[in-house]
Amino acid sequence: MNFLDLVRSRYSVRAYKIDRVEQAKLDQVLEAARLTPTADNRQAFGLIVIRTEGPEKELERIYSRSWCVQAPQVLCACGIPERAWVHKRDSKNYSDVDMAVGMDHLILAAAELGLGTC
């Protein structure tokens, strides 16, 4: 699939299969995020893989949509402001931008592998 076809076909999923994502596929989407170009290459974000089986109640308190806990895994992106590049002109901390680009890479890699994301 070429890139524009991939971008056109990706959509936000609200119903998930209960099957766990194969480790090889999970590794691929995490690697896509790791390779994200970031401001000054600081990589000012991290990802946490959460298996939803078990902590459903805690996850529902964080995000109350049932489809979110229906997914077998949830990936949590965490910005790390103290590691981020800060623009001298306006003091803009780029951890949020780095995290957003990282998630975009991850989401597109998942779509290419046939995995649903939201």
Which residues are CB-neighbours of 13 under 8 A, at least 6 positions away?
Answer: 67, 116, 117, 118
- Count CA atoms closer than 13 A to 67's CA, side-chain side: 8
For the domain made up of 16-112, the CATH class stated in words is alpha beta
Whole-prediction pTM: 0.89
Task: Give the DSSP per-residue string, 61-104.
Answer: HH---HHHHHSSEEEEEEE-GGGS-B-TTT--BTHHHHHHHHHH
Residue 10 DSSP label? -
Rg for the chain (alpha carbons), in Å? 16
- Can you give the pLDDT at residue 36? 95
The tens place of each residue's pLDDT in the chain, 118 residues long, gives: 799 999 999 999 999 888 889 999 999 999 999 999 999 999 999 999 999 989 989 999 988 888 888 889 999 999 999 999 999 999 999 999 999 999 999 999 999 999 999 9
Domain assignments of the chain as residue spans, ordered by start: 16-112
- Picking from 37, 49, 4, the residue whose alpha carbon sits closest to that of residue 105 is 37
- Can you give the pLDDT at residue 69? 87
